Structure 1
Amino acid sequence: MNLRPSLLHALSSLSPPAAPFLHPTLNRRYAYYPPQTQSSSSPPPLLLLGGTSQSISSWSPHVSQLSKSRLVIAYECCGQGPSPPLSHETCAIESQVSTLEKFVNGLNLEEVDVVGLSFGSRVGLAFSRTGKVNKLHVSGLTRTRDDYSMKVLEDWRGILIDGSDEDHGILKRFAESVIDVSYSEGFKEKNSKWREKWEEFVVNNNTVEGLRGLLNQSHAGVEDEWGVTKSLLASRSENRFIVGEVDVLCGAESEKGVEGAMEELRPFGQTKVFEGCGHAVPMEMGKAWRDDLLEFLT
C-alpha cells in the first residue's frame, strides 16, 4: 500500500468508527477505519461505495470486521449523504469517477479494492476503468434495467418532484418506497419493529436535492459511454457480482429472472446469487456477504 507517511501516521491514530471528514476541495464526505492489526502483505485499502440513499453510516455494521487487517475508507458520492450538491456539481457517473479518481490520487494510492452496492456498484464498475481498482465486489448490479426497475425509478422521481409536500414529507415517502423494494418480504416481516428507525435513517441522511440529482443524472436508464455495458467492457479489475435471489430491482420480476441477469455478467467476472435475499444484500445477509467479500479479497 503506497500511502504518504504523514497521512498513514494520522490514520493509524484513529479508532473506528472514525468521524466523517469533509474533503477540503472535493466537497465529499468520507471516513477512515484504520487496520486493527498490521499485515506484512499490506493489502490495498478497501473503498466502500453505498447505494442511492445510503451514507457513510450505512457501513457501520461491517467496518469492524472489514478493517481487521486493512485500511477501510467509506465514501459518499455527489448526491449522497446529508449535504446537497453544490450548484456547480453534477451527479453524472463520469463526474463521479473523475472526483473519485482525484480523491484516491490525493491519498497517493496506486490502487484500491472496491465494494459497491446498487448505485455504488455502478460507480465502482465505472471507476475500475481507470486502472485504480485491483478487485471489485459489487451487489445489486445488472447490465440492463427491466420494466419493473424502470417503473420504480419513475416512482422515485415522482416522489422527489412533488411540490405539495415539505422536504421531510418527501424524504419520508421516498424512504418507505426504498425500503419496500430493497429487502425481501421475509426480512421486512422479521424486522418490522425496526421499520420506523430505517425510515428515519434515510430521512436524516439524505437531501431532496441530492436524491433528485442522482435519479436525474445517474439513473437515466440510457446506455451511454459511462453506462454498465461500456464499463464492463472497459473494466480493468478482477470482478465479482452478487445479487439477491428475490431482488426485484435486478430481474426477479422479469421473465429472465435474476439468473438471467447474472448470466449477462458472467463473461466479466464471478457471480453469486444469495438465496432468499433482496436487493440490499450487505444489509440483509451481513455475515454471509462479509464472508464472501473477504474470501474474494484474499
Structure 2
Amino acid sequence: MKKAYIFPGQGAQFVGMGKELYQLGGATKDLFKKADDILGFGLTDVMFEGTDEALKQTNVTQPAIFLHSVAMAYALGDAFLPEMVAGHSLGEFSALVAAKALGFEDGLRLVAKRANAMQKACEEQPSTMAAILGLDDAVVEQICSQVDEVVVPANYNCPGQLVISGSLAGIDKACALLTEAGAKRALKLNVGGAFHSPLMESARAELQEAIQAVDIVAPICPIYQNVDALPHTDPEKIKENLIAQLTGAVKWTQIVEHMLADGATSFVEVGPGKVLQGLVKKVDRQAETSSAAV
C-alpha cells in the first residue's frame, strides 16, 4: 500500500488560488513573499486578486501553479510523506521540489525561464493543440503520422483522451481525419502554441543549459517522469528527462498505470484543482476492466 502525490500543470489556475495557504502564515507565507522577490513582480497579487486573463498568461500561470503546489506540500508538513510522486508537464518541477530533489528558489527560476522560453517559441511560429476524445491512442498516433505537417501526440491524459500538438494547418488536417475515423470530439484548445511538440525546440534548447547548471539531488522517493513514465531517482537521468520534456509527450496515462502496478493505493493531488484525480480514476477504471476481461 503506497501513497502517490501528483502535481497539476498549466490549466489548473483560478483567481484566488493560494490565498488560504498564504493566510496560514509562517514558512508557507514566506514562500509567497520569496516568489515575488525572485520574479520581480507581484505574482501573489495576480493570484489572489487578478483577472482570469492576467492569470492565463504563460509567464504568470506556470509560476503561480508551481508556487501553489509547493506551498500546499509545505502546509501538509509531516503529513506529506510521499512514497512516489509525479507531475503533469509543469507539475514535474513541483514534484521535484516536494520530493526534495530541487530547491524552491532554483525550481521557481527554472519554471519562470521555462514559461518565458515557451512563450517565445509560440510567438516565433503560430501553432496550437487539440483534444481528441473517444479514439484509441494507436489510431490517433497513426493518423498524426499521416499528416504532411507537424502534428504529434502531446498529452496522453487517460484512455480515450489524447491531446495532439502541431502547426495550425496540421491540427486542422488531423482533426478532420480523426473525426472521420470516429472521434467523439476533436476540439481545438485555447492555448498559445504547440506544447510538447518539435515546435518547442527553441524553448528546449534555451532551457537545457539552465537545467544542466542547476543542483538536483536524489529525491526522497521515486519520481515518475513525463517522457518515459518510469520512476527515477538518479539526478542526471532526471535532468535529461526534464530537458526532453518540452518537446516530448506527457505520458500521464502510462505514469498512472505504472504507479498502480508499483503498488499505489491512493493518489493525493497537491496543487490547484482536481483535474488529475479525475484522470487517475479513468485510468484505474480502465485497468480494472482490462483485468476483469483477462
Alignment TM-score, normalising by the size of structure 2: 0.35
Higher relative contact order (CA 8 A, sep 6+): 2
